[in-house]
Structure 1
Amino acid sequence: MSMQWKGVMPAVTTKFTNEDELDLKAFEINIKAQLEAGVHGIVLGGTLGEASTLLDEEKRKLTTTTVNLVKGKVPVLINIAEQTTKAAIEAAQKAEMDGAKGLMMLPPMRYKSGDKETVAYFKAVANNTSLPIMVYNNPVDYKVEVTLPMFDELLKCTNIEAVKESTRDITNVTRIKNAFGNRLKIMTGVDTLALESLLMGADGWIAGLVCAFPAETVAIYELQKAGRIQEAIEIYRWFLPLLELDINPKLVQNIKLAEVYTGIGTENVRPPRLPLEGLERNHVKQVIESSLKNRPVLPNYKNL
């Protein structure tokens, strides 16, 4: 399967048992719900996937399990978030061996690399794997920005194909299109700017609340793609209070709690994260419960 950078790709959560082991049964339930809703790819081991807490063998188990579950229906991507170039290259090569069809890749972790170092890091990995790469550009959370001049250099690597655009600057979609046309595909990575980004020309959406609400997320994408903009806007307006749970330091706990409410996940997180409690928990529950009471009836978005 050649990589198609389009549509909705959930950055799925990682499911854990009460004993802090991978919960592959709960994970399978969620992946099947995503496929039934019509997602266009699966992204493993991102921020929502608690990547920084996962052992290497756990990442590989998640990759092979997901590849077996999707059976070629959609591509499986794994996130690369490493501290060294050597480790990033090894992770990319293992992902390829395990059946992944693409990589989402962050700049180096912990060390705040300069522009030259960041470019060299991405290029080194690209030159040591045949997998297509989506650069995750999130300077708000990870403090390193991949600028247009840096992309100009990176695109000399033919397998650097896409960007997960998470700068929070909606005008960046137009800048990227003006600079690179279709050479650099754009996957919006901020839930609360998703529809706006799609309408400005983004090719797809790496989504968070899709983990709990897959059908609504895919419906918004398919409706706007079909030109049924007002219908997409109406669902998006209903969705926004939930989407705001994604732009929060406790996004993992927030979204896992939402998954419990929709019956496709568990609340278990890996320490040092802990489940929500007190006023914080009550607020998130109120947002979820209020949204569920007013959950929209979706059109037949799969046959637009």
Structure 2
Amino acid sequence: MKFEWKGVMPAITTKFTEKDTLDMPMFLKNIEAQIEAGVSGIVLGGSLGEASTLTREEKKVLIRETLGAANGKIPVVMTIAEQTTATAIEVARESQEAGADGLMVLPPMRYKSTDLETVTYFKDIASQTDLPIMIYNNPVDYKIEVTVKMFQELMEMENIGAVKESTRDIINIGRLRNQFGNDLKILTGVDPLALESLLAGVDGWVAGLVCAFPRETVAIYKLAKAGRAQEALEIYRWFLPLLELDISPQLVQNIKLAEVATGIGTEYVRKPRLPLQGNERQRVLKVIEDSLKTRPELPDYKNLTTMA
């Protein structure tokens, strides 16, 4: 399998049982739905995957089981989101030993590092693994921006080759592309800016609502990359109320409710998260229910010829 940072890569949710253990049957049901829809990779253990609540042993289980389901067809990427460099390196090594194909690395957690500290952190991790690395650039949620200047230093590392671009600044896609050309692969990480980002030339989409709607997500990507922007736009406009559920502090609960509605997930979250309550729960359920009533028919997107 040739590893490429491109296509739709679900930031998959972690499924739990009512007893707060991993729900592997439902997790694998979702993975199978993603693969059938035509995703290009699976990203495990991100913020949507409730990474901060997972034990290291649970992460190994998720990698092993996902690799088994993927069966070499698509890469499996593990997220590194740790408080210390030493722990991040240990998790990176464990992920490689468990069979992960790549890593998505977040900046230091719970500490607003300086530019130098951030670059050093990323380079220290990259120097201790052979796996390809995608940097997660999300200053909105993590208060640390990885700038073009910082990427110039990071690109000195042979295995740092991609960015999950979540600044919510479409102009930044052009900045990165103008500076690095195709040497740095760019994947959008903001669901309700996905089509705009694809038309601006990103290579892929690390998606959230794909967890509940894999076929629609891949169809938008394929249509956009095949030059059929109007058809992609029609699906995207239908999808937008759902996609906006991804840019919320309760994105995990929102997306898990959507997974329940489409039959490929459960609502259980791990504390301190709690299921949605009251008016907010009803609002999110209405968005999901209204969208399901008008769910579009999709073209034969799997057989489209896409541009690079």
The normalised TM-score by structure 1 is 0.99
Residue 243 of structure 2 corresponds to: 243
Q: Shift of the alpha carbon at 1:87? A: 0.7
Residue 17 of structure 1 corresponds to: 17
Structure 2 counterparts to residues 106-145 of structure 1, below 5 A? 106-145=106-145
Structure 2 counterparts to residues 153-192 of structure 1, below 5 A? 153-192=153-192
Q: Quote the Cα distance in structure 2 between the aligned partners of 1:250 and 1:17.
A: 19
Q: Quote the Cα distance in structure 2 between the aligned partners of 1:288 and 1:88.
A: 37
Matched, 1:50 2:50: yes
Q: Shift of the alpha carbon at 1:2? A: 3.5
Q: Quote the Cα distance in structure 2 between the aligned partners of 1:42 and 1:36.
A: 13
Gaps of 5+ in 2: none
Q: Quote the Cα distance in structure 1 between the aligned partners of 2:86 and 2:48.
A: 24
Matched, 1:104 2:104: yes
Structure 2 counterparts to residues 203-222 of structure 1, below 5 A? 203-222=203-222
TM superposition outliers: structure 1 runs of 4+ over 4 Å = none
Gaps of 5+ in 1: none
Q: Quote the Cα distance in structure 1 between the aligned partners of 2:140 and 2:80.
A: 18
Deviation track 1:31-55 (CA, whole Å, cap 9, x = no partner) reads 0000010000000000110000111
Residue 75 of structure 1 corresponds to: 75
Q: Quote the Cα distance in structure 2 between the aligned partners of 1:12 and 1:153.
A: 30
Structure 2 counterparts to residues 257-276 of structure 1, below 5 A? 257-276=257-276
* 2:5 aligned counterpart, secondary structure: coil
Deviation track 1:241-280 (CA, whole Å, cap 9, x = no partner) reads 0000000010000000000000000000001111111100
Residue 62 of structure 1 corresponds to: 62
Q: Quote the Cα distance in structure 2 between the aligned partners of 1:39 and 1:183.
A: 22
Matched, 1:93 2:104: no
Deviation track 1:164-186 (CA, whole Å, cap 9, x = no partner) reads 00000001111100000011100
Matched, 1:287 2:287: yes
Counterpart amino acid of residue 299 in structure 1: P
Q: Quote the Cα distance in structure 2 between the aligned partners of 1:281 and 1:111.
A: 32
Deviation track 1:203-261 (CA, whole Å, cap 9, x = no partner) reads 00000000000000000000011111100000000000000000001000000000000
Residue 199 of structure 2 corresponds to: 199
Q: Shift of the alpha carbon at 1:3? A: 2.0
The normalised TM-score by structure 2 is 0.98
Residue 277 of structure 2 corresponds to: 277
Identity across the alignment (%): 69
Q: Count residues in correspondence.
A: 304
> RMSD of aligned C-alpha atoms?
0.5
Q: Shift of the alpha carbon at 1:187? A: 0.5
Counterpart amino acid of residue 158 in structure 1: E
Residue 7 of structure 1 corresponds to: 7
Q: Shift of the alpha carbon at 1:111? A: 1.2
